[in-house]
Homo-oligomer: A and B are copies of this chain.
Amino acid sequence: MGGQGDVTVLGTVVSPFALRVRMALYLKGVSYEYLEQNVFDKGELLVASNPVHKKVPVLIHGGKPVCESVAIVQYVDEFWTGAEFPSILPADPYDRAVARFWAAYVDDKLVAAVLGILRAATQEERDKKVEAAHAVVAPMEEAFATCSKGKAFFSGGDSVGYLDLALGCHLFWLETLRSMFGVNVIDAGRTPQLAAWAERFLETKAAKAVAPPANSMEEYAGKLRAIWAAAAAAK
């Protein structure tokens, strides 16, 4: 694709925020070099590209780094514009505001809820954290359905957009919680519309293109839980 410059993504296969960025690039049809990072031993390029947070994802475009997935996805949408590039954010200002509101909600509340479940040391604690997660998800059911306007995706259309990416990138971790603990955060009984959307989302080419390797999230979760357990034992 002419004139787009070199595109590199620094990510990890288990970072939902890196998956979000990679799905955005996939939607735009932008090819990129992907460099898997070790978050337990951060490389020079990561530290130099994101000196403030030293976190993935980082998009490096034409030598210039862009950090924070929300800023990156909007950058991708605003740089690769025109008839050949599908829009990620909705066209209408109000729809954009609603999508940004709920995307922020997901990153604030849902991420905390997922980490709470992952970190729980006992079954009793986990049950409480799952209950808290269901309370976080509940208001999304009708709100997100409203965004979809009767179409397949929260973009209000038949292909995924900003809010789909915002929530969709976390589905891989929700699947991991199910496989590790038998927990359903998005539950077909409680939030049937979200559950049906999640099935559709995971079947999209964008989701399949970035799906983490089998067991990579379970292995990463195991490392995290060992670190947390050691820290708790040392107190």
Total count of chain A residues near the partner, CB < 8 A: 24
Q: Could you tell me which residues of chain A, from 29 to 71, have a CB within 8 Å of some CB in chain B?
A: 51-52, 61, 64, 66-68, 70-71
A101 to B68, CA, bound (A): 7
Q: Say whether A75 contacts B52, CB under 8 Å.
A: no
A93 located at the interface, meaning its Cβ lies under 8 Å from any Cβ of chain B in the complex: yes
In this complex, what residue of B is CB-closest to A61? B94
Asked whether A105 is an interface residue with its Cβ less than 8 Å from the other chain, the reply is yes
CA gap between A66 and B96 in the complex, in Å: 10
When each residue 94-132 of chain A gets 1 if its CB lies under 8 Å from chain B and 0 otherwise, what string results? Answer: 101110110011000000000000000000000000000
Q: Flag if A68 contacts B100 (CB, 8 Å).
A: yes
- Whether A68 contacts B139 in the complex (CB less than 8 A), given A75-B94, A94-B75, A97-B74, comes out as no
* CB atoms of A74 and B52 under 8 A apart: no
A104 and B71 form a contact (CB under 8 A): yes
Select from chain B the residue with minimum beta-carbon distance to A66.
B97
User: What's the number of copies of this chain in the assembled complex?
Assistant: 2
B104 touches A79 (CB 8 A): no
Dominant secondary structure at the A interface = helix
Check if A163 is an interface residue, CB within 8 A of chain B: no
Chain B CB within 8 A of A78 CB = yes
| Chain B residues whose C-beta falls within 8 Å of the C-beta of A101 in the assembled complex | 66-68, 71
| A43→B104 CA distance, assembly (Å) | 24
Q: Determine whether the beta carbon of A52 is less than 8 Å from that of B139.
A: yes
Known: A51-B139, A66-B98, A70-B100. 17 other contacts (CB 8 A): A52-B105, A52-B139, A61-B94, A64-B94, A66-B101, A68-B100, A68-B101, A68-B104, A71-B101, A74-B97, A74-B100, A75-B93, A75-B97, A78-B93, A78-B96, A79-B93, A79-B94
Interface residues of A (CB under 8 A from B): 51-52, 61, 64, 66-68, 70-72, 74-75, 78-79, 93-94, 96-98, 100-101, 104-105, 139
